[in-house]
């Protein structure tokens, strides 16, 4: 992930907000510049708030992705139906706005935002401004999203879904250029691989997959991350995060990247079919 401020850039101290030092170089501060420590705290807070996507929000009853015009991620690019959902003052609107906020965060750079306003049942006006963050589809604001970008944005969204609605600090890793900067402190701190996420939420029907690290299933659940391996309910059964299909252990369905950060290069939901999706995001926990 890229997270930019006026004086420095956290280069993926990757979907992590993690790293107060994470190996990212910080330039000297000139007189009048903001304190980098304060900016780090602000950036970490921003990232943390973007790691608790409600799984209901990515289901079709939220933003109704098929109703969107994916030619451009701006208000004029949306269909009337999609706009009406975003302007809805009830639960439909709440889920649609959350889904769009995460879409913008994953797709656009920090220099861009999606702005609109809506009215509640009492006539109060709510001004919304959803900032970009990850820049996985930076041109989408003015031109059609490509299939490759759609898969990256989908992986980003799926990796940030939280069964419990809890914001958990993550280290997200991949071969995408937005994840290239990974400091030694981050590698040393985020050592528990939760699993990997991939799919395409922009197709009809959509696809959404997750796999888990067998050694860290209990740890991930203790850290309130349960979408890779599933949530264990009171009856002892395992529940998935909505439409996300848990395929099994990542070691059975993915091919590893030969790098120190140990992410999965590509994954497939079919154990016996080598149809790999290489738009995969692997999540590590501290």
Question: Does the pLDDT at position 150 exceed 50?
Answer: yes
DSSP three-state, residue 216? helix
DSSP three-state, residue 228? coil
Per-residue pLDDT tens digits for 190-200:
999 999 999 99
Give me the mean pLDDT over the 52-62 stretch: 72
Spatial neighbors of 77 by CB under 8 A, at least 6 apart, are 69, 70, 71
Q: What is the pLDDT of residue 62?
A: 55
Q: Where are the domains of the chain?
A: 48-285
Question: Does the pLDDT at position 1 exceed 70?
Answer: no
Would you state the structure tokens that stand for residue 103, as one six-digit string?
Answer: 């879409």
Q: What is the pLDDT of residue 155?
A: 96
Sequence-ordered alpha helix ranges (H) in the chain: 36-49, 80-87, 91-107, 147-159, 184-189, 217-222, 250-253
Beta strands in the chain (DSSP E): 3-4, 9-10, 113-119, 125-131, 171-173, 192-200, 207-212, 231-232, 238-239, 245-249, 254-256, 264-267, 281-285
Measuring CA to CA, which residue among 283, 228, 229 is closest to residue 261? 283
**CA distances from residue 279 to 6, 45, 151, 152, 239 in whole angstroms, order as listed:** 30, 26, 6, 5, 25
Q: What is the pLDDT of residue 195?
A: 98
Q: How confident is the model at residue 44 (pLDDT cuts 50, 70, 90)?
A: very low
Question: Does the pLDDT at position 265 exceed 70?
Answer: yes
Q: How confident is the model at residue 115 (pLDDT cuts 50, 70, 90)?
A: very high
Query: Of the ranges 49-63, 77-91, 228-242, which is most confident?
Result: 228-242
Burial 217-226 (b: 16+ CB within 10 A, else e): beebbebbbb
Burial (CB count <10 Å: 0-12, 13-18, 19+), residue 152: buried
Sequence-ordered alpha helix ranges (H) in 25-131: 36-49, 80-87, 91-107
How far is Cα 10 from Cα 22, in angstroms, rounded to an integer? 9
Q: Comparing 198 with 62, which gets the higher pLDDT? A: 198
Q: What is the pLDDT of residue 163?
A: 92
Least confident of 20-24, 79-83, 212-216, 221-225: 20-24
């Amino acid at each position: 992930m890229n997270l930019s401020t006026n004086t420095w850039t956290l280069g993926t101290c990757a979907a992590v907000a993690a790293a107060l030092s994470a190996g990212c170089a910080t330039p000297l501060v000139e007189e009048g510049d903001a304190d980098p420590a304060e900016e780090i705290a602000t950036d970490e807070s921003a990232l943390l708030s973007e790691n608790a996507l409600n799984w209901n929000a990515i289901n079709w009853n939220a933003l109704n992705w098929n109703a969107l015009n994916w030619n451009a991620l701006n208000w004029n690019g949306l269909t009337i139906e999609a706009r009406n959902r975003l302007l809805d003052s009830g639960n439909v609107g709440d889920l649609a706005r959350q889904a769009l906020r995460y879409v913008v965060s994953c797709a656009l750079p920090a220099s861009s935002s999606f702005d609109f306003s809506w009215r509640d049942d009492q006539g109060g006006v709510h001004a919304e401004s959803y900032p970009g963050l990850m820049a996985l589809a930076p041109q989408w604001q003015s031109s059609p999203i490509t299939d490759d970008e759609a898969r990256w944005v989908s992986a980003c969204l799926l990796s940030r879904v939280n069964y419990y609605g809890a914001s958990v600090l993550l280290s997200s890793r991949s071969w995408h250029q937005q994840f290239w900067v990974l400091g030694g402190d981050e590698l040393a701190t985020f050592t528990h691989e939760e699993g990997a996420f991939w799919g395409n939420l922009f197709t009809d029907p959509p696809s959404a997959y997750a796999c888990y690290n067998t050694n860290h299933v209990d740890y991930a659940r203790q850290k309130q991350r349960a979408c890779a391996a599933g949530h264990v309910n009171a009856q002892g059964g395992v529940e998935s995060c909505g439409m996300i299909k848990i395929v099994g252990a990542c070691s059975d369905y993915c091919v590893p990247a030969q790098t120190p950060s140990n992410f999965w290069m590509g994954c497939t939901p079919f154990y016996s079919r080598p149809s790999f999706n290489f738009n995969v995001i692997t999540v590590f926990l501290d």
